[in-house]
């Protein structure tokens, strides 16, 4: 075991122990030992049963003779059959409880790690989160966690397999000491052979695990690029590129499967040779009864797949450890970038939000996107933020929302700097409507309450009416209880935008930011929504990132982002 594997295994086992606790793992260990003991006991009873069928119990020697003598008058066939059935029932019940306990520990541990990682992602600074590859995060939370679950299954299974191997080895030695030791030696010799042949397969498996992760990331990328591909009528090229990635994965999978099959073939041939040698030794030198010889053969045959299972479990553990390390390393990175979560009272917004000599750049060593910005968003009015694509409009909005922290200068709300825990407190009083609206695959009601969990039915109806979405909901098959589909796929783009706008208004924010929120609406619907926004004047502060003239026309103030500066263009006087 290499030092890195040893350290990763220690960290994983320690984390599993801390999560599950000594009591749960202790119960699992007892179940493992008890089920292994009943496995061995079942094998020791088999020679007695077989001997009783031949009337040969009286001639049984060694451990079997001692066992028959100990049973005394209870050594008859009916009693032995009843005892054998009882042992099998107990073993089956213990195996059931053992597998249930293993599943509970494994699944619980994996889901805790998944939630911990997602919590770390959600709690990190937005600037750090936005800089991470989306496909990598999806792979960590999806595919990698699934592989981790399989590895944890092997981690918990391996002690059970080893305990059963020990129990069967002890049973073989108890049944016939000398020949039993030879049988156990043959079994473990084959196990060493399997281990030697498994090195190449293990390397292939590690590469396959890595490639599976890459394939998951590629799938996400290809799905996201499908619409542009169809728009350019180049689906064929898009499919060919994906097929190349998939073919590479298929080739590695076939190589891995072929290596595993070859290893099993070697093990089976070695087992057959060992069994033949064992029978010859037993008949020639051991003078064993037929029943005893048959049971030894059964034990040896049973130990072969167990040795292979132990090897496969170990390989599964080794393959899992890099995945565990990747997940925990990602969690540590996001925790290191955690946002200040100190509780604070949100600042009131009675006068305005001001940017004082603000500078910002996405890359700490790169050029500034914005610098020396001084601008005001007055309270109670509608301010339009305009500028060319890439000028920094969204960055300005994100700083005003408290998502991003300026590298230079300060942002204040009624003179109170947005810093530390105050940024998150401020976001509890704001609402944001993105250009690409996001909806859960849930009902309209659940989507509305996602933004405002305690909202009443009248409040939801008012918000839907303000967003001109009440007629949309009324036309849906189940009204508020209609499932909108993945990301709102069962609604049109304009319908999604109005539902998300209603979601934002339901929060009754002091500061509302809309990022091209009417871009998917027709002119008549846009006019209705703009009238609703105009009615908010004086009730809340509204910032709209806008290109369309109709949206700019309702603004009281227009701020233009250009050349790293924010300048005031017009002031509404009517």
188, 304 contact by CB (below 8 A): no
| pLDDT reported for residue 511 | 93
Q: Please, are residues 44 and 137 in contact by the beta-carbon 8 Å criterion?
A: no
The least confident of 42-56, 299-313, 528-542 is: 42-56
Closest CA to 118 of 327, 420, 320: 327
Tokens at 167, concatenated: 């129990």
Angle at which helix 77-123 crosses helix 290-336, to 10 degrees, equals 10
Average the pLDDT over 369-378 and give the result.
91
If pLDDT is split at 50, 70 and 90, which confidence band does 542 have? very high
Mean pLDDT (whole number) for 398-414: 91
pLDDT higher at 495 or 518: 495
Tell me the CA distances in angstroms from 363 to 117, 127, 432, one per residue in order. 25, 10, 25
Q: Which of 161, 143, 186 is nearest to 296 (CA)?
A: 186
Q: Does the pLDDT value for residue 261 go beyond 80? A: no
Confidence check: pLDDT of 260 > 70: no
**What is the structure's pLDDT at 359?**
92
For residues 410 and 417, the answer to whether their CB atoms sit within 8 Å is yes
379 vs 368: CA distance, rounded Å: 28
Containing 23, the helix (H) or strand (E) segment is helix 3-53
pLDDT tens, position by position, 238-252:
677 777 777 776 776
Contact yes or no for 502/533 (Cβ under 8 A) = no
Statement: residue 346 has pLDDT above 50: yes
Residue length of the chain:
574
Q: What is the mean pLDDT of the chain?
A: 78
pLDDT score of 184: 66
Which tens digit of pLDDT belongs to each residue from 455-486? 889 999 888 888 878 888 899 889 889 998 88
CA distance 345 to 340: 14
3-class DSSP state of 548? coil
Helix (H, G, I), strand (E, B) or coil at 328: helix
- Helix/strand/coil for 123: helix
**Cβ pair 494, 527 in contact under 8 A:** no
What are the tokens at 529? 């929504």
CA-CA distances (angstroms) from residue 441 to 463, 481, 484, 503, 554? 20, 12, 6, 15, 34
Query: Rounded to the nearest 10 degrees, what angle do helices 290-336 and 3-53 cross at?
Result: 150
More confident residue, 309 or 356: 356
Neighbouring-strand partners of residue 545? 385, 515
User: What are the helix (H) ranges across 54-139?
Assistant: 62-71, 77-123, 126-130, 134-139
Which of 183-192, 253-262, 416-425 holds the top average pLDDT?
416-425
Q: What H or E segment, with its residue span, contains residue 432?
A: strand 430-433
Measured between alpha carbons, how far is residue 101 from residues 94, 153, 482 in Å? 10, 11, 39
Instruction: Give the global pTM.
Output: 0.75
SS3 percent helix, strand, coil of the chain, rounded to 5, is 70, 10, 20
For residues 179-191, give the mean pLDDT. 66
More confident: 362 or 511: 511
Instruction: Report the C-alpha gap between 22 and 20 in whole angstroms.
Output: 7
Local confidence band at 574 (pLDDT 50, 70, 90 cut-offs): very low
d(C-alpha 317, C-alpha 300), whole Å: 26
The pLDDT value recorded for residue 102 is 86
Residue 420 pLDDT greater than 80, yes or no: yes
- Nearest-angstrom CA–CA distance, 260 and 250: 15
In this predicted structure, what is the pLDDT of residue 358?
92
Gap between the Cα atoms of 144 and 470, Å rounded:
42
- Rounded CA-CA distance 305/294 in Å is 18
Q: How far apart are CA 123 and CA 114, in angstroms?
A: 14
**227 DSSP assignment:** H
Residue showing tokens 């799905």: 223
How much is the average pLDDT of 133-159? 80
| Residue 521 or 538, more confident | 538
Higher-confidence residue of 321 and 292: namely 321
3-state SS, one letter per residue, for 56-67: CHHHCCHHHHHH
Of 46, 48, 103, 95, give the one whose Cα is nearest residue 71. 48
- Who wins on pLDDT, 158 or 357? 357
Angle at 76 between CA 74 and CA 78, to 5 degrees: 100
Per-residue pLDDT at 355: 93
Cβ–Cβ under 8 Å, residues 272 and 278? no
DSSP 156-169: HHHHHHHHHHHHHH
78-136 pLDDT per residue, tens: 666 777 777 778 888 888 888 888 888 888 888 888 888 888 988 888 888 888 877 77
For residue 230, give every residue at least 6 positions away whose Cβ sits within 8 Å of its Cβ, in sequence order, or none.
none
Give CA–CA dist 324/330, Å, rounded.
10
Q: Is residue 514 a contact partner of residue 433, using CB atoms and an 8 Å limit?
A: yes
d(CA 539, CA 474): 27
| Token pair for 430 | 């704001």
Give the dihedral sign, CA 448/452/453/454.
Answer: negative
> DSSP per residue over 206-226, as a string?
HHHHHHHHHHHHHHHHHHHTH
Q: What is the DSSP letter of 571?
A: E
| C-alpha R_g of the chain | 35
Please, which residues bridge with residue 378 across strands? 352
Residue with tokens 């998300």: 500
Question: Domains along the chain?
Answer: 21-336 (1.20.1560.10), 352-571 (3.40.50.300)
CB burial of residue 19 (10 Å; 0-12, 13-18, 19+):
middle
């Amino acid at each position: 075991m290499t030092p890195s594997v040893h350290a990763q295994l220690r960290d994983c086992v320690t984390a599993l122990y801390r999560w599950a606790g000594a009591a749960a793992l202790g119960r699992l260990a007892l179940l493992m030992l008890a089920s292994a003991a009943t496995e061995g006991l079942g094998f020791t009873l088999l020679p007695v049963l077989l001997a009783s069928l031949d009337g040969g119990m009286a001639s049984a020697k060694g451990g079997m003779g001692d066992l028959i003598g100990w049973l005394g008058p209870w050594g008859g066939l009916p009693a032995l059959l009843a005892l054998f059935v009882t042992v099998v029932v107990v073993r089956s019940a213990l195996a059931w409880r053992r597998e249930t306990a293993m599943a509970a520990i494994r699944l619980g541990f994996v889901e805790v790690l998944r939630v911990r990682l997602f919590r770390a992602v959600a709690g990190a600074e937005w600037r750090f989160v936005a800089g991470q590859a989306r496909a990598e995060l999806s792979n960590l939370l999806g595919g990698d966690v699934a592989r981790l679950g399989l590895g944890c299954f092997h981690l918990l299974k391996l002690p059970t397999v080893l305990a059963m191997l020990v129990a069967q080895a002890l049973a073989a030695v108890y049944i016939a000491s000398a020949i039993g030791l030879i049988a156990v030696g043959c079994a473990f010799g084959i196990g060493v052979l399997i281990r030697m042949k498994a090195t190449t397969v293990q390397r292939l498996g590690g590469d396959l695990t890595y490639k599976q992760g890459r394939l998951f990331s590629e799938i996400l990328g290809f799905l996201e690029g499908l619409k542009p591909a169809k728009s350019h009528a180049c689906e064929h090229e898009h499919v060919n590129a994906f097929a190349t990635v998939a073919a590479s994965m298929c080739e590695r999978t076939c190589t891995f499967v072929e290596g595993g099959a070859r290893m099993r073939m070697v093990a089976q041939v070695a087992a057959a040779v060992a069994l033949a040698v064992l029978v010859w030794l037993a008949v020639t030198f051991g003078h064993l009864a037929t029943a005893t010889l048959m049971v030894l053969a059964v034990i040896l045959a049973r130990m072969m797949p167990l040795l292979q299972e132990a090897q496969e479990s170990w390989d599964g553990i080794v393959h899992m450890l890099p995945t565990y390390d990747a997940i925990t390393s990602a969690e540590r990175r996001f925790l290191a970038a955690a946002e200040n979560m100190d509780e604070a009272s949100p600042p009131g917004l009675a006068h305005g939000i001001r940017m004082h000599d603000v500078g910002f750049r996405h890359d700490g060593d790169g050029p500034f996107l914005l610098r020396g910005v001084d601008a005001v968003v007055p309270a109670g009015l509608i301010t339009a933020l305009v500028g060319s694509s890439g000028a920094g409009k969204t960055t300005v909005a994100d700083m005003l929302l408290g998502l991003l922290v300026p590298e230079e200068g300060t942002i204040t709300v009624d003179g109170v700097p947005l810093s530390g825990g105050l940024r998150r407190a401020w976001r509890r009083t704001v609402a944001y409507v993105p250009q690409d609206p996001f909806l859960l695959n849930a009902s309209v009601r659940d989507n509305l309450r996602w933004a405002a969990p305690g909202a009443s039915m009248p409040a939801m109806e008012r918000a839907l009416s303000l967003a001109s979405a009440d007629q949309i909901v009324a036309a849906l098959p189940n009204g508020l209880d209609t499932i909108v589909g993945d990301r709102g796929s069962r609604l049109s783009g304009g319908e999604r935008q109005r539902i998300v706008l209603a979601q934002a208004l339901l929060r009754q924010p002091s500061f509302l930011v809309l990022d091209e929120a009417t871009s998917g609406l027709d002119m008549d619907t846009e006019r209705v929504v703009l009238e609703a926004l105009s009615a908010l004047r004086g009730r809340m502060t509204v910032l709209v990132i806008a290109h369309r003239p109709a949206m700019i026309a309702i603004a009281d103030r227009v701020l233009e982002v250009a050349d790293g500066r924010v300048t005031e263009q017009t002031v509404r006087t009517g």
